[in-house]
């Protein structure tokens, strides 16, 4: 087969990138870290005090969970050109019981009985043709919604014991932070100290496939903990929300090497959107489709710098990056 001229290859790569956000990694070349291009932003009406913590596109809808709500999921229907979007109810359900097949921390047990809203700490949402799944950080478990019984049921798979044996999940509220369904597998984000990924393949009910997340030389965590706050899958790749670097990276599903990243600190902490407290990044939920990259900010009840009484969360919509041939 004849080799195509480089200009033709570059044009073909540009077309593929514009269609799907795909950029093939080049061996030995660091993944480019590019400024994010903001398409739209929406303040989330009705999100005050809830702390939106997970996003996912399911059957064409943008769904969300909140870490201070244990018996509801939500729908967002953002419209271009508007500056706000309503947090609409998608489904109500009865929370699952305390897991009886794994150790439960005394603090988690106490919260279960003391506060229904705080008992699950849902941090992620994902779906497939069989249903909707929620990730509980409180119990490091995945629950599947059962619409017929209007409840949620734990899947058999559990991983807290295996993860802790490998040095993960060492800090309360710094544990399982994001989930995405890819084919028959679940990927779970392990938040920090250390951060990592867990791939749960079909038949794995205890957690066996723990992965380190390859570093990206161009990412700056600004002296903060290297963390992992959300996951999404699109176009045959895994997307990671790396909160304290204010970044989203597209990663190869096989080796987890980054193909490219975008960074958005100047947007999150710019005068229009910045909250009064900026000790840590606030990106918490991630969803990706053909329209681009969506990130939700969890402001933990903190008001905006320019409007301290406004404590709504924020949904950001970023474009896929436009890359030069030198950056590919």
The residue extents of the domains of the chain are 26-318
Please enumerate, as own/partner, the contacts of 270-277 that have beta carbons within 8 Å and a separation of 24 or more. 271/305, 271/306, 272/41, 272/306, 273/41, 273/304, 273/314, 273/316, 274/304, 274/305, 274/306, 275/299, 275/302, 275/303, 275/304, 275/305, 276/302, 276/303, 276/304, 276/305, 276/308, 277/302
- pTM here is 0.91
pLDDT greater than 90 at residue 7: no
pLDDT greater than 90 at residue 161: yes
pLDDT of residue 251: 98
> In the CATH hierarchy, which top-level class contains the domain 26-318?
mainly beta
pLDDT greater than 80 at residue 235: yes
Kindly tell me the burial class for residue 49, based on how many C-beta atoms sit within 10 Å of its own C-beta (0-12, 13-18, 19 or more): middle
pLDDT of residue 11: 35
DSSP 38-64: EEEEEEEET-TTT-EEEEEEETTEEEE
Cβ-Cβ contacts under 8 Å for 86 (sequence gap 6 or more): 44, 45, 46, 76, 77
pLDDT greater than 60 at residue 307: yes
Q: 84-92 and 313-318: which strand pairing?
A: unpaired
Cβ-Cβ contacts under 8 Å for 72 (sequence gap 6 or more): 66, 89, 90, 91, 92, 93
pLDDT greater than 70 at residue 23: no
pLDDT greater than 70 at residue 1: no
pLDDT greater than 50 at residue 18: no
Q: Which two tokens stand for residue 247?
A: 């970044």
pLDDT of residue 29: 82
117, 123, 126, 131 alpha-carbon torsion, rounded to 10°: -30
């Amino acid at each position: 087969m004849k080799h195509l001229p480089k200009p033709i290859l570059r044009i073909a790569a540009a077309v593929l990138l514009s269609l799907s956000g795909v950029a093939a990694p080049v061996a030995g070349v660091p993944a480019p870290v590019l400024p994010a291009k903001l398409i739209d932003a929406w303040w989330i009406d009705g999100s005050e005090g809830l702390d939106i913590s997970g996003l996912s596109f399911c059957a064409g809808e943008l769904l969300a969970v909140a870490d201070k709500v244990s018996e509801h999921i939500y729908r967002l229907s953002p419209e271009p050109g508007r500056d706000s979007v309503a947090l609409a109810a998608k489904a109500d359900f009865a929370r699952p019981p305390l897991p009886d097949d794994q150790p439960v921390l005394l603090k988690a047990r106490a919260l279960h009985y003391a506060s229904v809203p705080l008992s699950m700490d849902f941090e992620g949402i994902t779906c497939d043709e069989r249903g909707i799944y929620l990730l509980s950080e409180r119990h490091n478990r995945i629950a599947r919604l059962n619409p017929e019984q209007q409840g949620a049921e734990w899947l058999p798979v559990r991983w807290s014991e295996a993860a802790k044996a490998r040095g993960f999940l060492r800090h309360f509220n710094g544990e399982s932070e994001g989930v995405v369904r890819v084919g028959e597998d679940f990927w779970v984000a392990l938040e920090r100290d250390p951060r990592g990924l867990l791939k749960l393949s079909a038949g794995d009910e205890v957690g066996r496939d723990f992965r380190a997340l390859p570093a990206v030389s161009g990412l700056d965590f600004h002296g903060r903990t290297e963390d992992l706050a959300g996951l999404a899958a699109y176009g045959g790749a895994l997307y990671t929300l790396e909160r304290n670097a204010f970044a989203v990276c597209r990663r190869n599903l096989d080796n987890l090497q980054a193909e490219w990243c975008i960074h958005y600190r100047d947007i999150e902490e710019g005068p229009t959107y910045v909250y009064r407290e900026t000790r840590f990044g606030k990106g918490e939920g991630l969803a990706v489709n053909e329209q681009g990259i969506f990130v939700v900010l969890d402001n933990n009840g903190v008001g905006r710098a320019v409007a301290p009484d406004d404590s709504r969360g924020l949904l950001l919509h970023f474009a896929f990056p436009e890359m030069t041939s030198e950056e590919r």
